[in-house]
Amino acid sequence: MKTATLEHTDDTDARLGDIIAASPHTIGAGFTAHHFSEEAFGGRMDPLLMVDDFVMTAPTFDPHLHAGISAVTAMFEDSTGSFLNRDTLGHNVALRPGDLYWLAAASGAAHEERPEQGARTHALQIFVNLPCRLKKEPARALHIRAEEVPVIAGQGHRVRVLLGRSGTVIGAEGTPEEITMLDGFLDGGRFSHLLPAGRQAWIYAVSGQLLVRCESAQRALDPATATTVEAGPETEIVLHADAPSHFVLLAAKPIREPFVKHGPLVMSTEADVRRTLAYYAEGKFGRIPA
């Protein structure tokens, strides 16, 4: 088990963080990922705990438990075929390219995700921390279909507003805590997002070169790198690319609470972890549909 406390700084001149490169991660012949963990960002990723930009072409993970977090699967549009998602809430969902599935595991839920035969899943798997007051709530899920996602389109940019809002465009709501998620494409254009006061942003270059500007600072992101904007007063984030570029922006209010990590369980205390594991062993979180 690992205990962590997220730190932050009040230096408004350094709100735009360092550039962090993903760690490569491979499992067998059917799973590769660009992996990011909160440890690399020194609290600037909060409330995000982990992001994997992954490609899966074969079943890789057995059914497994999550607790104290939301486990989010955001399907990229270049996926082919379906990504099959089953969980102890009774859901058996075939996720399609462009879909998002948000499992707010909270007190505990197990799931299994795998590509259907012949499919190629390209997606983000995101672990979002929950504040202590929500970690023991009943689990629930939100499925957002690609056709339901509003799009901001203009000269040199196309941005899907999966969650929250950007400008006057409002995406899906209903997550445990307010969060914005943008899945965007630039090609010789720019896009600006107004980050509300008190929100922190994580910006990832999926492909192509991406220039990120915030206040007086800027960062040039290569593919599979990310940077952050620390919480503070309302500010504008400007993204620019001279050639085709694909980015993801996630923004939310940081939690800044200590937590205990035990694999895909993130609880407030070690006792909570032990209790959750015992409940899972006793079958108290239900069954995954056949």
Q: In terms of DSSP H, where are the helices of the chain?
A: 270-281
Q: How far apart are CA 33 and CA 44, in angstroms?
A: 22
278: CB partners within 8 A, 6+ apart:
none
Q: How far apart are CA 168 and CA 189, in angstroms?
A: 20
Pull the structure tokens for residue 269: 């205390």
* Residue listed under structure tokens 């360092």: 18
The pLDDT value given to residue 284 = 87
Q: Which amino acid, 152?
A: I
The pLDDT value given to residue 287 = 84
Per-residue model confidence as pLDDT tens digits over 8-47:
444 445 899 999 999 999 999 899 999 999 999 999 999 9
* Residue listed under structure tokens 């209903």: 174
Per-residue model confidence as pLDDT tens digits over 123-148:
999 999 999 999 999 999 999 999 99
Annotate 33-55 with DSSP letters as a single string: EEEEEGGGGTTTTTTEEEEEEEE
Q: How far is CA 129 from CA 27, 48, 68, 165, 247, in A?
A: 25, 6, 7, 20, 22
What would the mean pLDDT of 205-219 be, rounded to a whole number?
Answer: 97
Per-residue model confidence as pLDDT tens digits over 71-119:
999 999 999 999 999 999 999 999 999 999 999 999 999 999 999 999 9
Per-residue model confidence as pLDDT tens digits over 5-16:
444 444 445 899
How much of the chain is helix, strand and coil, in % rounded to 5? 10, 50, 40
62 exposed, middle or buried (CB, 10 Å; 0-12, 13-18, 19+)?
exposed
Instruction: Tell me the pLDDT of the chain averaged across its residues.
Output: 94
Instruction: Give the three-class secondary structure for 146.
Output: helix
Chain center to CA of 288: 23
Structural domains of the chain, ranges and CATH numbers in brackets: 2-281 (2.60.120.10)
The pLDDT value given to residue 11 = 45
Please check whether residue 7 is in contact with residue 42, taking contact to mean a CB–CB distance below 8 angstroms. yes
